[in-house]
Structure 1
Amino acid sequence: MSSNVIPLSLQHLWRAWNIRGFMLLSLSLQLLLALTAPLRRRTSNKLVILLVWSAFILSDWAAIFAFGLISNAQRGENPVVDDNIMAFWSAFLLVHLGGTDSITAFSLEDNALWLRHLVGLAVQVAVFFYIFLNTLPGNILVLPTAFIFVAGVNKYAERTRALYLASLENLKKSIFQLSTSGPESDEPHPSGEDQVIAERFFRTFKGLVVDIMPSYTERSMSRDFFLGRPSNQTFKLISLELSLMYGVFYTKFLAVSSRWGMCTRTMAFCSSITALVLFSLADKGNFNRIDVGVSYTLLVGVILLDMDSAIIQLEPDWVNPAESNWGYCSSIQSFIFVLLGIVTAILEIPLCVCGVGPLPDKPWSETVGAFNLLDYCFKESQRTSEGGKLRRAWNSLFDFVTEKFGIKDLVDELRYKAQNNHESDLWDYIFDKLHDKAVPIDNPGKAKEVSEAKGELALQKPDLMELTHYVTDLEFDEEILTWHVATEICHQVDGVGNGSKKKFSKVLSDYMLYLLVMQQKMTSAIADIGQIRFRDSCSEVRALWKISKPKDVKELCEKILEETTSHEPAHEAPTAGKSVLHNAGQLAKILRQSNNKWEIMSTVWVEILSYTANHCRPDSHARLVCEGGELISFIWLLMAHFGIGPRFPKHRPVR
C-alpha cells in the first residue's frame, strides 16, 4: 500500500487552480514588465536588473507552461475548466508571448535569436489551433477567441520583427544597402526641436555600433553643428540619441514606429476591444463564475497593456506628446503619465527600503561608477585577516565558494562598487578639453592623432616631458593602474590643491578602474591582460598590508610611497618589468613636486577616458544603455560628433 507524498488537499488545489493560476501569473508578469522594464535604463543596480531579468525569463516560461497545461487538460476526463474557456484563454497566451513594448530583448545577444522566435511563433500557433479545433463545432466563444487570436499573432509577429530589425547583422545590412542607393547629397544643418535633431543624428551615426564610420560630408556637418553648441545642449542631444539607441535595440520601437507597424497595432487594439464586447454579449450561463472573472481580467489586462504601449509610445522622455503619430489627446497622455508616475513611485518603495531608490527621473542613471584599488585591497585584507577564527574560516569558505561558482566578480561589485553623482561641471570640463582638441582638426590625419592619444598630448610641455614615459612606455592597462594608484596616493597624502581639478582626477581615476575591472567586455579589446595585472597589483598591496598593518588607506598610501621610492632615484623611467606599485610610487613622487599636479592628472585622465571611448568595442556602448548607461558612451558620441576618430572616409563603404 503506497501513500502519496503530496497531500490530497494540495492535489485538489493544484487541479482546480493550475490553469487559472498560470493564466493570471502570465498576465501579472506582463504587467510587471511593462512597469519595471523601463527602470533598467535609469539604474545599474543589480537588484533592479535582477527583478527585470526574472520577470523577462519567467514570462515566456509561464505562457508556454500554461499552453501545456491546457492541452493536457483537454485530454483528461471532467476537466475543471470548460474546454471553450480554455481555448479562449490559449489565445491570450499568444498575446503574452508577444511581450510588452517596453522590452523585447534583455541583452543585445537576444536580438540575434529572432529566427528562434519566428519558429516559436509557428509552433505556438499550431498548438493554439490544436486546442481550438478540439472545441469545434460546439464552441460558443469562436468569435471572441478569433479576435484575441488576431491580436496575439500581431503582437508575437511584432516582437519577432523588432528582434530582427534590431539585430546587428540587419543593422549592418541596412547601412550597406543605404550606401548603394546613390551619392549623398549635402544636407542642411539640422534645425528644429531637440528630438528631431537627435533622431537625424542617430540615423547618421548609428552605424558606429557596427563599426561603420559616417561619411566625410556627414562628419563635417556634425562638426560644424556641435562645435557651435554649448555643453549643456550637447549633453541633452546625446542623451536623446542614447535613448533612441535603447529604444531600437531593446524595445519594439522600430517595429511600431513605421506606418505598417501603426496599422497592425491599431488592428490588434481594435481586435481586443471587439473581443471584450463579444465576450460580454455571449451566453456565459454554463461557465464557472471564477472562469468568467478570470476571462474579464485577461481581457482588461490586454487592453491596458495596449493602451500603455500606444499612449506612452515607448520613449516619453524624447517624444513630444503633442506631435505623437498616434493622434491621442495630449490631456489623456498627461493623465497616463501622472498615473504611471504614481505607480512607479509605489514600486520604488521596496527599492528604497533595500537601499536602491529613489531612481532618477531621467533617461539614464546620472551616476558615475567608482572602484578604488587601494580601498578594495585594504578592506579585503581586513576582512580576511582580522576577527576570530570562526569569522576568518567563514570568510575563507565564502571566498572559495564564490570563486568556484564564478560569482566572485559579482560579489565584489556588490560590495565595493561606489557611485558618484554625475555633475555638470565634470561634463563641462571634459567637453571643453575635447572641444579645444577638435577645433584645430583640419584633416583625417590630425583627427587620428588626437584619437590615438592616451595621455601624451597632455604632457607635451617641456617641463612635463619626463612624465611621458609613464604613458608611452607602459601598456594601456598598466598605464591605467599606474596613474590610478598615483592619483590615489596624491589624493590621500596631499590634502591641499585645486578643488575642482582634484575632484575630477579622483572621479575619473576611480571610474577608469571601474571600467577596467568591472566592465571587462568593454575594455577587453584594449586591455587584454588588465585582470591579471589588477590581481597582481592586489597581491602586492596585500603583502605590504601584512607587513605594515596600516590603520587606514592614507597610511597605506604613505607606506607605498615610502617602500617604492626609498631605494630608487626619483626620476627613473618606468619599465614593463617592474610592478605597478613601483611605477606608481615613482610617478606620485614626481607629481607631488609640481604645483599644478591636479591640472596635469585631470587632463591625462580625460585623454585616457577619450582613448578608451574611441577604442573599446563599439557594440559595448549599445550593451550599456540598458544598464543605466555610462558616461563613457556620452564621450564616445561626443567625439564622433566632433570628428575625433581614427578614420572618416569620404564616402560610405560599398559592399
Structure 2
Amino acid sequence: MAAGTEVVVPAWKEWGLRSLVLLSLTFQVTLLILAEFRRHIDSGVLKTLAWSAYMVADATAIYVLGHLSVITSRSAEHELLALWAPFLLLHLGGQDKITAYAIEDNKLWLRHLQTLAVQVAAAAYVISGSSIVRSPLLLPATVVMFMVGVVRYGERVWSLKRAASNPSAGNYKSDIGRRRFNLSVPDSVIRRLSPAEALLLNGHMLLDLAKDRFKGPLPRLFLCGPGNEDSQLRGEEELYKVAEMQLSLLHDVFYTKAEATHTWHGLCVRVLSALATAVAFSLFNLVLLLGARHHPEAELKAKGYSRADVAVTYVLFVGAMVLETSSLLRAMLSSWTCALLVKHGSEGSSLCNWLARVPLCLRRLVRAAEWRRRRSWKRSMGQLNLVQLCVRSRASRYKKMARWMRLEDWWNTVAYSGPSVPISACARKLLLKSMKARQWGREEFESRGLYGDPAWVADSKLDERILIWHIATEIYLFWYKKDLQEQQAEAAADGDGDGAVELVEVAQALSNYMLFLLASHKVLRGGCSLGGFLIHHRDSSPGCGTTGTLEMICRVWAQMLCSVAEECSANSHAKQLSSGGELLTVAALVAKYMRSRRLSDYFHIESKRRSEW
C-alpha cells in the first residue's frame, strides 16, 4: 500500500492538474454534442449524461481555478499555468447550445453572477501573481483570453437572466413590444425559401406570440398584415407545422444563449472573440518559435516551458479555436440570424435584404431547415395504461420501497410507462378539428344518451374525467377489438376496416397519453359504469353505430387534451421542452393562434372560436 501511494501521489502532483484542465475542455465538447440531441430525444440515458456533464463541468473548472491560485502564489516556475486561468473562465461561460439543464436553473442567475465575480477575481489573481506579467508576448495573449473568458461567462449569466425574466415585471424586452411588426417577407427572400425554411421563418415571425403564452403577456402587442400573399401559409396543417418548429425555438429561448447570441451585439461578440482567440494563439506560437530558436531544452524547462505544459496549452488553444469558430459559423448561418435580417429588411433596409440571401442560400444547400424540422421535438406521446399498471405493479418490492419514500407516482410513471408512440396523421387531424369546433357540452352528450352521470362529462374535474374515460375507453376497446375481429371480412369488404383500426389506435394512444400526463390514481370510480354504458348504447341514436361511438371517444380525448393544454401552466410547458417537448405544448400554441382572427386570416383558417386579441 505504501509503495503504491509513493507512486500515485507524485504522479497526481505531476499530471493531476493538467488532466483536470483537459477534462474541463472535454466536458465542454460533450455538452455541445449532447445539447443538440436532448432537443428531440427523451431518453433517460441521455438525460443522465447531459446532467452529469452539466453539473461536473462547472465544478471541475472552479476546482482547477482554485488550485491554480494556490500554485501560482507559491511558485513562479510554471509560467504557462497562469495562461490556463482564462480558458477556465471560457469553459465556465459554457456552450451556446446549453445554458440551463432545467427551467429552474434560469432562476439561479444571481448565484451565477456571484460566481462570475469570484472566479474572475481568482483568475485575475492567478495572472497577477505569476511571472507571466514579465513576458512581453505571453502577457498580451493572457489578457486577451482573459477578456474573452469574462465576456463569454457574462453572456451566460445574461442569458439565464433573460430566460428567467417575466414581461409583466417590466424587465423583458420584445421586438413586437417596441414597434409595429409586419409578417410580410420581401419577394427577394421568398424566392430563396424552401417549404421547410418558410415554416421556420414563420415560426420566428410568430415567436413573440409564443413567448406571450409562455413568459406572460407582452406589452403593446401589435401585428401588421396580412402582408405579401405569397408568404402566407395555407390552413391549420401548416399552422401545426409552424407550432412544431416553435418548440425548437422556444427550447432555444429557455435553455440556450439564442436570445443573447442572435442580436447585433451578440454577433459582434462572436466575431471579436474568434479573432481575439486567433490573435492570442498566434502570440503563443510566436513565443514557442522564439523560445525554440534562442533557448535550449534545459533552459525552456527551467523557465517552466515543459513539453507537457506546452502540449496542454496547445490543446486548450486548439479547442478554444474550434469551439469559437463553430460558434461563429452557427450564429452566422442560423435561422435566428436570417429572421433578424428579414425583420429589418421588411422595415425597408435593403442591405439586410441583401445580407439575408447569403445564409438562406447556404442553408438551402445543406437542407438545414429540413434537418431542424425533423428534430424540432420528439414527435411522440408517452404511454401509461392503468390496467397494465395495476397488473404489473401489484407484487413489486420496488413499488413498496417507492411508496415508503413517497415516490410512488414517480416510480409508476418511470417503471411502468409503455414505449412512446408516434403521433399519427389521424390524431393530428382530430386534434386540429377539435380546436376549430366548440367543446362538447350537455346537448352533445345528451343526444347520445351520455348525460346520466355528471362525472362523465365536462361538469366534473378534469383529472377525475381523465381517469373515468380512460377506464371506459379500455373497456370499450376490449369489446370493440373483439367484435372487429369477428367482422373483419365484412369490414374489409365495406372499406371501413382500415379506418376503424386507425381510430382504435388513436383512441388507445390518446387515452394512454392523457393518463401518462396525469400520472396519479386518485379517482377510480365511475369508469366501469361508463364503459358498459358506451357498449350498451352504441346504437342509441341514428347514425351513431360502433364507429360513431369510437369517433366520439376520440373527439372526447382530443378535447380533453386541448383543455389540459390550456390549463397547463407556462412553467410546466417550458419545463417539458428540456425533454424533447410534448404534444400538449404544440396544442397550446396552435389553440392560441387559432383564437386570433388576424392570424386565422393569415393562415386561411375558418374557425368558430376565433376572437380578436
Report the TM range for the smaller structure's normalisation: 0.7 to 0.9
Q: Is residue 365 of structure 1 aligned with residue 378 of structure 2?
A: yes
Letter in 2 for 1:431: L
SS class of match (1:120): helix
Deviations 1:198-237 (A, max 9, x none): 2221113311113427989759979x99997334422221
Structure 2 partner of 1:533: 522
For residues 331 and 472 of structure 1, the distance between their equivalents in structure 2, rounded to whole angstroms, comes to: 48
**Cα shift readout 1:470-511 (whole Å, capped 9, x = no counterpart):** 114532211100000110111122212722222221111111
What amino acid does structure 1 have at the position aligned with 2:505?
A: K
Alignment correspondent of 1:554: none
Matched, 1:106 2:117: no
Which residue in the other structure is 1:377 paired with? 390
2:574 aligns with 622
Q: Confirm or deny: 8 A CA contact 2:199 2:242 kept in the other structure.
A: yes
Counterpart for residue 213 of structure 2:
208
Summarize the Cα distance change of 1:311–1:457 in structure 2 as closer, same or farther, 3 Å threshold.
farther
Change (3 A) 1:178 1:301: closer
Tell me which residue corresponds to 1:556: none
Which position in structure 1 is the counterpart of 2:306?
Answer: 288
The structural deviation recorded for 1:432 is 2.5
More displaced stretch, 462-471 vs 494-503:
462-471
Q: Which amino acid aligns with 1:610?
A: C
Which range moves more in the overlay, 469-478 or 41-50? 469-478
The alignment status of 1:433 with 2:434, answered yes or no, reads: yes
Q: Write the distance in 1 (CA, Å) between the matches of 2:389 and 2:12.
A: 50
Stretch deviating more after TM superposition (619-628 or 589-598): 589-598
Which residue of 250, 256, 268 maps to 1:251? Answer: 256
Most deviating of 90-99 and 200-209: 200-209
Contact residue 478 and residue 580 of structure 1 kept, 8 A? no
Rate the CA distance shift 1:615–1:71 in 2: closer, same or farther, 3 A: same
| Amino acid in the other structure paired with 1:96 | H
Letter in 1 for 2:322: L
Distance in 2 separating the partners of 1:197 and 1:124 = 41
1:87 partner letter: A
The range that moved more, 132-141 or 25-34, is 132-141
Q: Structure 1 pair 627/592, CA: closer, same or farther in 2 (3 Å)?
A: same
Letter in 2 for 1:71: S
TM-score normalised according to structure 2 size? 0.78
Q: Deviations over 1:307-365 (max 9, x none)?
A: 222222399577769989999976997899799x9xx9xxxxxxxxxxxxxx9952111
Partner of 2:317: 299
Decide whether the 8 Å contact of 1:216 with 1:649 is kept in 2: no
Map 1:482-521 to 2 at 5 A.
482-495=468-481, 496=484, 498-517=500-519
1:267 matched to 2:272: yes
Could you tell me which amino acid in structure 1 is paired with residue 315 of structure 2?
Answer: T
Tell me, yes or no, if the aligned pair for 2:251 and 2:577 is still in contact at 8 Å.
yes
Partner of residue 565, structure 2: 613
Match of 1:63 in 2: 61
Structure 1 pair 202/66, CA: closer, same or farther in 2 (3 Å)?
Answer: same
Say whether residues 1:413 and 2:413 are aligned partners. Answer: yes
Q: 2:36: which partner in 1?
A: 38
User: Is the contact between residue 501 and residue 602 of structure 1 (CA under 8 Å) also seen in structure 2?
Assistant: yes
CA contact (8 A) 2:507 2:557 kept: yes
Partners of 2:475 and 2:528 within 8 A in 1 = no
5 Å-filtered alignment, 1:110-125, equals: 110-125=105-120
Distance 1:5 1:282, change over 3 A: same
* Residue matched to 2:402: 402
1:199 to 204, 207, 217: 204
SS across alignment from 2:412: helix
1:188 CA displacement? 6.0
Secondary structure, counterpart of 2:166 in structure 1: helix
TM-score (norm 1): 0.73
- Tell whether 2:140 aligns with 1:154: no
| Residue identity matched to 1:533 | K
Higher mean alpha-carbon deviation, 169-178 vs 147-156, is at: 169-178
- Work out the CA distance in 1 between the residues paired with 2:549 and 2:319: 61
Counterpart check, 1:168 vs 2:165: yes
| Structure 1 stretch displaced more, 285-294 or 122-131 | 285-294
Deviation larger for 295-304 or 137-146: 137-146
Structure 1: distance between partners of 2:454 and 2:552: 11
Q: What runs of 5+ residues in structure 1 fail to find an aligned partner?
A: 345-358, 385-394, 438-449, 518-530, 538-578
Is contact 2:148-2:273 (8 Å) kept? Answer: yes
- The Cα shift of 1:401 comes to 3.5
Query: Among 22, 25, 33, which residue is 1:24 paired with?
Result: 22
Q: Could you say which residue in structure 2 is the equivalent of 1:390?
A: none
Q: What is the CA-CA distance between 1:374 and the residue it aligns to?
A: 0.5
- Look up the equivalent residue of 2:504 and give its one-letter code: K
Cα deviation, 1:132-167, whole Å, max 9, x if unaligned, reads 111144346212111111110111011111111111
Percent sequence identity over matched residues?
26
Judged with a 3 Å threshold, the aligned counterparts in structure 2 of structure 1 residues 263 and 472 are, in CA distance, closer, same or farther, namely closer
Please tell me whether residue 598 in structure 1 is matched to residue 611 in structure 2.
no
Match of 2:465 among 475, 479, 483: 479
How many residues are paired up?
Answer: 542
- Number of the residue aligned with 1:524: none
> Is the contact between residue 165 and residue 171 of structure 2 (CA under 8 Å) also seen in structure 1?
no
**Contact 1:504 1:602 survives alignment (8 Å):** yes
Aligned partner letter, 1:488: E
CA 1:266–1:188 in 2, change beyond 3 Å: closer, same or farther? closer
Higher mean C-alpha displacement, 191-200 vs 634-643: 191-200
Measured after TM superposition, the shift of residue 411 of structure 1 is 3.9
Q: SS state of the match for residue 42, structure 2?
A: coil
What are the ranges of 5 or more consecutive residues in structure 2 without an aligned counterpart?
191-197, 292-299, 343-351, 485-496, 598-608
Contact 2:270 2:327 in 1 (8 A): no
1: CA distance, partners of 2:181 / 2:26: 51
Judging changes above 3 Å, is the alpha-carbon distance between structure 1 residues 144 and 301 closer, same or farther for their aligned structure 2 residues?
Answer: same
The letter for the 2-side match of 1:41 is R
1:107 and 1:623 in contact (8 A); partners too: yes
Q: Which amino acid aligns with 2:5?
A: P
Q: CA deviation at 1:15?
A: 0.8
Whichever residue aligns with residue 427 of structure 2, its letter is L
1:155-207 C-alpha deviation (Å, 9 max, x unpaired): 101111111111133675256888986xx869566785333322221113311
CA offsets 1:564-605 (integer angstroms, 9 cap, x no match): xxxxxxxxxxxxxxx244544454444555522101101111
Q: 1:301 to 1:467 in 2, by over 3 A?
A: same
> Contact 2:166–2:216 at 8 Å: present in 1 too?
no
Instruction: Specify the SS of the correspondent of 1:7.
Output: helix
The answer to which of 363-372 and 205-214 deviates more is 205-214
What one-letter code is carried by the residue in structure 1 that aligns with 2:66? Answer: G
| Pair 1:139–1:413, CA change in 2 (3 A) | farther
Q: Output the CA distance in 2 between the equivalents of 1:315 and 1:105.
A: 23
Partner-residue secondary structure (3-state), 2:578: coil
CA displacement at 1:400 relative to structure 2: 3.8
Asked if structure 2 preserves the Cα contact closer than 8 Å seen for 1:219 and 1:648, the reply is no
Q: How does 1:307-456 map to 2 (within 5 A)?
A: 307-313=325-331, 361-381=374-394, 384=395, 395-396=396-397, 398-405=398-405, 407-417=407-417, 418-435=419-436, 437=437, 450=438, 453=439
Q: Deviations over 1:67-119 (max 9, x none)?
A: 12212223456x8xx43211100110000000000000111121122222222
Structure-2 change in CA distance of 1:72 and 1:455 (3 Å): farther
Shift of 1:282: 0.3
Q: Secondary structure at the match of 1:105?
A: coil
AA at the equivalent of 1:149? F
Structure 1 residue 610: Cα displacement: 0.7
Which residue of structure 1 lines up, in the alignment, with residue 445 of structure 2? Answer: 459
d(CA) in 2 for partners of 1:258 and 1:318?
9
